[in-house]
Chain A
């Protein structure tokens, strides 16, 4: 699986868009980008995934650069409940176990 690099922590004001970057310069053509988050004292939660096109669901948007070497997770209107550790994971998907790094600790400020 390709290695990912994320900032250790980020702050965002409540109500603003939170943009979380992820670098994955060694990604292979058949590898997907997945995002999970982990709120304190809970198990991780799936957010969104993509291969090369931008994706949007009820939780977030995922923007993948054309060369696929980086991506950005966007939470359009951050709330205090979005404070969590966000993990960017690159893998072939399917039956593979997920490889989590240390993620980005996103803190939403009131």
Chain B
């Protein structure tokens, strides 16, 4: 049973560029959440997708957007990258009915130069 997978593992972008990160949820899960983790900090909630719609959103600007596909996989898009967007981006999947038990992927390390 595959766990949560994310791609790419690492990414280097230049300020002002756009980036797309991808996530495949654990088999059987229907809900995907995205988190940003800066160095030395705990993960910060970006948003959550269920039934291909954004259901909850944390305190992140509109430069952060997402999508969920019919197969429950998800993408996180960040436009107009800032140096402060450098972080580990974590995807977590869960069942809608058991959203407290989230399974996290290994993350994508984004560096903005």
Contact = CB atoms under 8 A, between A and B. Distances in A.
Contact of B48 (A85, A87, A95): A95
Query: Secondary structure of the A side of the interface?
Result: loop
A32 B47 CA distance: 20
A45 B31 CA distance: 16
Interface residues of B, number: 29
A97 to B, nearest CB: 3
Contact of A95 (B4, B55, B58, B107): B55
Contacts of A85: 42
Contacts, number: 64
Interface of B: 4, 31, 33, 35, 40-48, 50, 55-56, 58, 90, 92, 96, 99-107
Interface range for A: 20 to 34
Contacts of A87: 42
A9 to B, nearest CB: 13
A94 interface: yes
A100 B42 CA distance: 5
Given A95-B55, A97-B33, A32 B100 contact: yes
B107 A43 contact: yes
B100 A43 contact: no
A97 B45 contact: yes
B104 A96 contact: no
